[in-house]
Amino acid sequence: MSEIQRPAPGSAPGSAPGPASGPRGSLGVLAALDRRWIYLAMALAVAIPMLAPVRLPIVISKEVEAFHREIEALAPGDQVLFSFDYEPDVMAELDPMTEAILDRLFAKGIQVIAMTNYAGGVGIGQARLEAAARRHGKTYGTDYVFLGYNPDWSGTMLRLGESIKATFPVDQFGRPTAEIPLLATCDAYRDIELLVSIAGSQLSEFWAAYAGARYGQRMVSGNTAIQAIFIYPFYQSGQIKGFLGGLKGAAEYETLIERPAFGVRGMGSQSAGHLLIVALVIAGNVGYFLMRRKGLLQGNRLRAVERKGRS
Amino acid sequence: MSHDPSVWVTALLTLAIFSFLYRENRIFRFAEHLLVGVSAGYYVVQYFYSGVIKKMVIPMSQDLGANWVLLFGGLFGVLMFTRLSRRYGWAARYPIAFYVAAGAGYFIPSILEANVLKQIGGTLTAPAAAASPAAMISAFVLVAGVISCLIYFYFSVEHKGPVGTASRIGILFLMLGFGASFGYTVMGRITLLIGRFQFLFHDWLGWIG
Amino acid sequence: MIQRTLPIAFAIVFGVFMLAQYFVPHPWVARGYNTVLDWKQIVFGCTLTLGVFSLLRFHGRKLLRRDPGALFSGVALVSCIATVLAGIFFGIEGGPYRWLFERVQAPMQATLFSMLAFFVASASYRAFRARSAHATILLVAGCIVMLGRVPAGDILGFDAGGARYSLAGIASWILDIPNLAAKRGILIGVGLGMISTSLRIILGVERAYLGQSRSGGGGS
């Protein structure tokens, strides 16, 4: 609403004395609203449902059902390549699904070969794996392994198709991968049942291109909301068998595996935040159009005065 | 409320960053530069350990006979540092040329298959895969949408007549797609805030279970 | 020759090889392919390390010249050196290095990005205007998807003829059909564009990645 610029009365030569500059009344208040009030409104919209939780029904979408089917199709002893392709900036969106998936994999007795394509993913992956392993009494080296980070993600994705041990000669903790029991019978995509990419960037799409298209690796993904919107084409074409999108995706998956956690708990704040944004968009546009209408009317009156002056 | 000093450190740094919302201040700038420094230190250790120690030094120390060729990779890596020199910076062109071109080489077939051929296949087979009349109508809408979007992006032909009409339909689909992106972007941003409030209310203040 | 022409020849050789290896299943070609991939990872590790050095050089110069904000540059340098020393002397698996990541870097990075929620709220009120038909379509679709993808969208609806019609259903259709069509069009277009750029690099036509030569021409 601040973009309506009006000349001060009598400031321009030949201009008719117009109304006082700027809108008046409630429109004026809304037009001059300090953005910090908006910040406060957003903070309250997120905080209040957290402090006074409301349990909302979660409807499962088909892409999350497909994701769940892929995980449930795994048998105990199968090996899954789990890639923590995110950094701390999007932790809040991806940690809930990461924890839910790891819990499900460990509960089913699936062996997890974890890695990351981001340096910041090392700290995250290490912490999430250790926490999940503790919850399920899993042993490093036989139930799970953390290969760590490799620079050059595209080269890594391709190299894994030839040899995991050559791609990661040692794991994140310096232990030779040739000596890790879990990797004794697993050295390339052909030995891996499923690839799970949890990505805060386009990396899931590149996994589909390099691991999927070239080596035929079956995969599912968990993505931030911003990235999930781009996964739909890959899901529809069958390159990615199922995916979780954002916190809602995590909430749906937690509901499916009957493990309500941060995803489900966050839906109240998420809903309130979205309602606030929609209300702000509507309020901003209503104010804009009201201001424009007033401007048009005053403009017509101006034009009428100018015509009088010329005649 | 937490009694763990680590949690208090994290909480205070979190509030220092949030203080920017009121206005820019020295506390925020201190926290910002602390983040820059710690991140830089963290990343340089990880990059060097993962790219040089794990990939070159350890394999060569374990089996030099089989891994001596990695020395050439190390040589390329050293040449990259000549970029810091005005006089010898041209030497960095060799590893850059190697890296960019090698990546371009393997990029082509994989992306052609995944981003072009499989996407076209998914589009054309959508009507056949439809399970109901409503789904089939939606599938034809999908096909029309993909074709019209591609026509919009084809700027070698003037967008007039039938091409112009298809292009305008493509824009409609693009606007719907961007609207969906906007909605999901908002969703993502709010989730990030939920995460931080979760930490403050649960881990630090203990107000929620 | 050595400064410009030979690097381009380098690029052509490696680019053609990495493209050709996709179609040639010979063991020697596979060995060469694996070797090139290993070299790439080492080079990238050094490149990223170089990037961090450049950042430190920037802050170091600011500190030495006592520019405005030099004190904060000092904070950045000291914390960087402390983190590196923590990693070297106490290891990267645990200890102070890991503590700095989990208690300082990760939470602050997350907080910095979480502020975008406030900025998007402010932008929603002040900037997102339905000035044209296209902008209106964009905003309406965005609002439908926003409301449809939270439990509120599942609640807002009605039952008719045994089926449920809700905002969530409309949002789902927008995501599955028009959004998919748009993203697929972009994906195919960008993919073809990137393939053509890659071909230009491999053939030595595209040379922007080599930077400017100091002599101003394609000199040796």
What are the residues whose beta carbons fall under 8 Å from the beta carbon of A127, sequence distance 6 or more?
A: C102
Measured between beta carbons, which residues in chain A are less than 8 angstroms from residue B38? none
- Contact partners for chain A, using 3 or more CB pairs closer than 8 A, are B, C
Q: Give the whole-angstrom CA distance, residue A266 versus residue A273.
A: 11
Which of A301, A273, A266 is closest to C146 using CA atoms?
A273
Distance from CA of C64 to the nearest CA of A (A): 30
Are the CB atoms for B55 and A169 separated by under 8 Å?
Answer: yes
Nearest to A232 among C45, C129, C176 (CB): C176
Instruction: State the pLDDT at residue B100.
Output: 92
Measured between beta carbons, which residues in chain C are less than 8 angstroms from residue A57? 151, 154-155
Instruction: State the pLDDT at residue C151.
Output: 85
Taking one residue from B and the other from C, the number of pairs with CB-CB distance under 8 angstroms is 399
> What confidence tens digit (pLDDT) does each residue in B150-194 have?
999 998 888 889 999 999 999 999 999 999 999 999 999 999 999
Distance from CA of B3 to the nearest CA of A (A): 21
What are the residues whose beta carbons fall under 8 Å from the beta carbon of C71, sequence distance 6 or more?
A: none
> What confidence tens digit (pLDDT) does each residue in B6-62 have?
999 999 999 999 999 999 999 999 999 999 999 999 999 999 899 889 988 998 998
Element spanning B14, H or E: helix B5-18
Indicate yes or no: CB of C22 within 8 angstroms of CB of B109. Answer: yes
Q: Give the whole-angstrom CA distance, residue C155 versus residue C160.
A: 15
On whether any CB of chain A is under 8 Å from the CB of B106, the answer is yes
Rounded to two decimals, the ipTM of the complex is 0.90
- In chain C, residues 76-95 whose CB comes closer than 8 Å to chain A: 92-93
Q: Where are the alpha helices (DSSP H) in chain A?
A: 25-31, 35-51, 62-72, 91-107, 120-136, 153-159, 164-167, 203-207, 215, 225-228, 232-236, 246-256, 262-265, 267-310
Residue C167's pLDDT band (cuts 50, 70, 90): confident
Indicate yes or no: CB of C152 within 8 angstroms of CB of A35. Answer: no
Instruction: State the pLDDT at residue B84.
Output: 83
On whether any CB of chain A is under 8 Å from the CB of B61, the answer is no
User: Which one of A244-253, A289-298, C55-64, C124-133 scores highest in mean pLDDT?
Assistant: A244-253
Instruction: State the pLDDT at residue A13.
Output: 44
Are the CB atoms for B42 and C105 separated by under 8 Å?
Answer: yes
Distance from CA of C59 to the nearest CA of B (A): 10
- Please determine, for residue C219, whether its predicted confidence score (pLDDT) is greater than 60: no
Q: What is the model's pTM?
A: 0.89
Instruction: State the pLDDT at residue A27.
Output: 65
- Which of A2-16, B35-49, B112-126, C23-37 is predicted least confidently? A2-16
Nearest to A42 among C113, C117, C172 (CB): C117
User: Which one of A111-115, A166-170, B162-166, C64-68 scores highest in mean pLDDT?
Assistant: A111-115
Which of C121, B122, C149 is closest to A228 using CA atoms?
C149
Instruction: State the pLDDT at residue A3.
Output: 39
Instruction: State the pLDDT at residue A9.
Output: 44
- CA–centroid distance for C212 within its chain: 25
Mean pLDDT score, C184-205: 93
Indicate yes or no: CB of B42 within 8 angstroms of CB of C48. Answer: no
Q: Give the whole-angstrom CA distance, residue A36 versus residue B24.
A: 13
Instruction: State the pLDDT at residue A20.
Output: 46
What are the residues whose beta carbons fall under 8 Å from the beta carbon of B53, sequence distance 6 or more?
A: none
